[in-house]
Amino acid sequence: MSTPVMQGTERKRLDVEWVRAQFPSLQRKVNGYPAAFLDGPAGTQVPKQVMDAVQNYFLESNANTCGAFATSRSSDAIIASAREAMADFFHCDKDEVVFGQNMTTITFALARAIGRQLNPGDEIVVTTLDHDANVAPWRALEEKGVVIRQVDIHESDCTLDLEDLKRKINAKTKLVAVGYASNAVGTINPVGEITKLAHAAGALMFIDAVHYAPHGPIDVRALDCDFLACSPYKFFGPHMGTLYGKREHLLRFRPYKVRPASDSLPDRWETGTQLHELIAGIGAAVDYLAELGRRHDPAAKDRRSALLSAYRATRQHEMALLARLVEGVLAIPGLRFFGINDAKRFDERCSTVSLRLANHTPTDAAKFLGERGIFTWDGNYYALNLTQRLGVEASGGLLRIGLVHYNTTEEVDRLLAALQEFARG
Ligand SMILES: Cc1ncc(COP(=O)(O)O)c(C=O)c1O
């Protein structure tokens, strides 16, 4: 496949052939069909670099940390290097990067630590658009008398109701918890603007960037948020979670930890033995994205610039696929689309689409597609507040199609043909 160059900006289009060659699992076949992995929002495939890093860790460095011998020193170095990679990814300092089991577990631990300093009557703002991992950990603090306020959405396009958000933030608000992008309907929230609103009220801002991370660059410095969590397994890495926390807060709040463990940053937030082999894989996932970026912009001078270049290329590719997908699904009779469907507003969304087909449950649609090698998701994807608000929870939720940068035009066309056939049946 050739890689035509865009006029004007002189940036190359995404080299999808090279991208796909990095992901061995994309070669899978199902019932004779090539597998189309449209299940990225639940976890993406991983490039060979990530698999190698995990295997090499076991081969060459397997040990616990901080020992006075070679494999332990090597483990320390690998973890430090992965932390630096994540610091470039978040755009923060390396002692502000915390590794953990997954975003949900990290957020419960953080909420419990923050909760130690909250009083009855203090308020936390959550949203109707969020995954429950950014709702339940905060709701758990209701046991301490904390009051939870939930921001509504505009049902017509599944965007956050910012007027409602402004009404719900007040002098008692201690923290605002908002997703960067919806894992159900793809809406990208104005998290920079919301951070300003939170800070103006004296509240902390926590961003769930799990769904945004495979689609766009994160810049915690520009956002000025206090905490931001994401999960490497959603951006081409292994099944783990990571947290950015502003240094002052990571020092100020007291995590639950074992006594002999270091109280320095970020160790105090990483109590217990970490998943060293997967942390090695996280470093490799960030480096895969940087390599992709350098291929598209050889002038990228450092890893952060290479990451920004990668996201410029992947975003352009994903938006072209999204436009084709949305136009195609809107033409299917009886289809109900959830979220922004106007191409002029696509900068407010990412390439994750949810829909329902008249007279069919999302599970039946997903099964039909699955038999044809097309992997989609059905149900609520844990965005429970949203499926309840949209009135679809009791009838099976939604059908989700998630496009990431390794997906192709051919896969979108196959999906559209299969959906049309299913809708007719
Ligand atoms: C938007 C969003 N937030 C949080 C999570 C939870 O992440 P983890 O599986 O790492 O706990 C998910 C997982 O699907 C998600 O999509």
pLDDT tens digits, residue range 226-264? 999 999 999 999 999 999 999 999 999 999 999 999 999
DSSP string, 185-240: T-BBP-HHHHHHHHHHTT-EEEEE-TTTTTTS---HHHHT-SEEEE-GGGTTS-S-
Place of tokens 């449950």: 361
Q: Which ligand 1 atom sits closest to the C-alpha of 106?
A: 11
**Angle between the N-to-C axes of helices 303-330 and 70-90, in degrees from 0 to 180, rounded to the nearest 10:** 60
Query: Would you call 348 exposed, middle or buried from its count of C-beta atoms within 10 A (0-12, 13-18, 19+)?
Result: middle
**Ligand 1 neighbourhood includes 103 CB (under 6 angstroms):** yes
Strands (DSSP E) along 32-157, which ranges?
A: 33-34, 36-37, 97-100, 123-127, 147-151, 153-154
From residue 107, how far is each of 96, 112, 174, 242 by CA, in Å? 15, 8, 16, 10
Kindly state the tokens that stand for 98: 């915390």
Place of tokens 């990228």: 300
CA of 88 to the centre of ligand 1 (A): 21
**Ligand 1 neighbourhood includes 211 CB (under 6 angstroms):** yes
Q: Which ligand 1 atom sits closest to the C-alpha of 241?
A: 10
98: left (phi over 0), alpha (psi -120 to 50) or beta: beta
Q: pLDDT value at position 52?
A: 98
- Structure confidence at residue 12 as a pLDDT band (50, 70, 90): confident
> What gap in Å lies between CA 97 and CA 82, rounded to an integer?
10
> Are both 16-47+304-424 and 51-286 of the same fold?
no
Question: Which are the contacts of 299, defined by CB distance < 8 A and separation ≥ 6?
Answer: none
Kindly state the tokens that stand for 102: 């997954």
Place of tokens 């950990």: 137
Q: pLDDT value at position 8?
A: 37
Q: Which of 138, 211, 243 to mutate to test the pocket of ligand 1 (most atoms within 8 A of CB)?
A: 211
User: Residue 1 pLDDT > 80, yes or no?
Assistant: no
**Ligand 1 neighbourhood includes 303 CB (under 6 angstroms):** no
Tally the residues of the chain: 425
**Residue range 193-212: average pLDDT?**
98
Q: Which of 235, 382, 384, 385 to mutate to test the pocket of ligand 1 (most atoms within 8 A of CB)?
A: 382
H/E element holding 76? helix 70-90
Q: Which ligand 1 atom sits closest to the C-alpha of 104?
A: 11
Residue owning the nearest CA to atom 13 of ligand 1: 42
**Ligand 1 neighbourhood includes 380 CB (under 6 angstroms):** no
Q: pLDDT value at position 425?
A: 83
* pTM of the model as a whole: 0.97
Nearest residue to 215 (alpha-carbon basis) of 192, 234, 237, 195: 234
- How many DSSP H helices and E strands does the chain contain? 14, 17
Question: Which are the contacts of 144, defined by CB distance < 8 A and separation ≥ 6?
Answer: 115, 118, 119, 120
CA of 372 to the centre of ligand 1 (A): 27
Q: What is the dihedral of CA 116, 119, 125, 131, to 10 degrees?
A: 30
**Ligand 1 neighbourhood includes 241 CB (under 6 angstroms):** yes
Q: Which of 39, 102, 104 to mutate to test the pocket of ligand 1 (most atoms within 8 A of CB)?
A: 104
51-286 belongs to CATH 3.40.640.10? yes
For the chain, the domains span: 16-47+304-424, 51-286
**Residue range 49-68: average pLDDT?**
98
**Residue range 147-153: average pLDDT?**
98
Q: pLDDT value at position 165?
A: 98
pLDDT digits (tens, 9 = 90+) for 110-144: 999 999 999 999 999 999 999 999 999 999 999 99
Kindly state the tokens that stand for 190: 């104005």
**Ligand 1 neighbourhood includes 182 CB (under 6 angstroms):** no
> What gap in Å lies between CA 9 and CA 361, rounded to an integer?
45
Residue type, 46: V
16-47+304-424 belongs to CATH 3.90.1150.10? yes
